[in-house]
Amino acid sequence: MKRVCFILQVRPERLEEYKERHKRVWPEMLDALSRTGWRNYSLFLRDDGLLIGYLETPDFSAALEGMAALDVNRRWQAEMQPFFQAVAGRPDENMSPLEEVFHLE
């Protein structure tokens, strides 16, 4: 299982609404994430809008491709795009994994 961490920047003026949206993620979106290999997926948000995402998956590229092929993901990403700063395209197209430099097993 590969551990993946990425960062994005949420617009500070949209933080509360972003948090509210994630309290009610669509059931079909949750199912799609599970079916495409996203495990132990978490999002962490700092007061200035820094968003840190973490997940575990056998193959991150395959997990992204699997979601990209689904209509539910296209709809979700279209709704989430206005929440992010400096995002060209869909937010999920801007997830660049950070290099893991240490892991305590």
Q: Active-site residues: which are they? A: 22
Report the DSSP pairing between strands 39-45 and 50-57.
antiparallel
39 has which bridge partners?
Answer: 56
Residues 58, 31, 15, 10: is their CA dihedral positive or negative?
Answer: positive
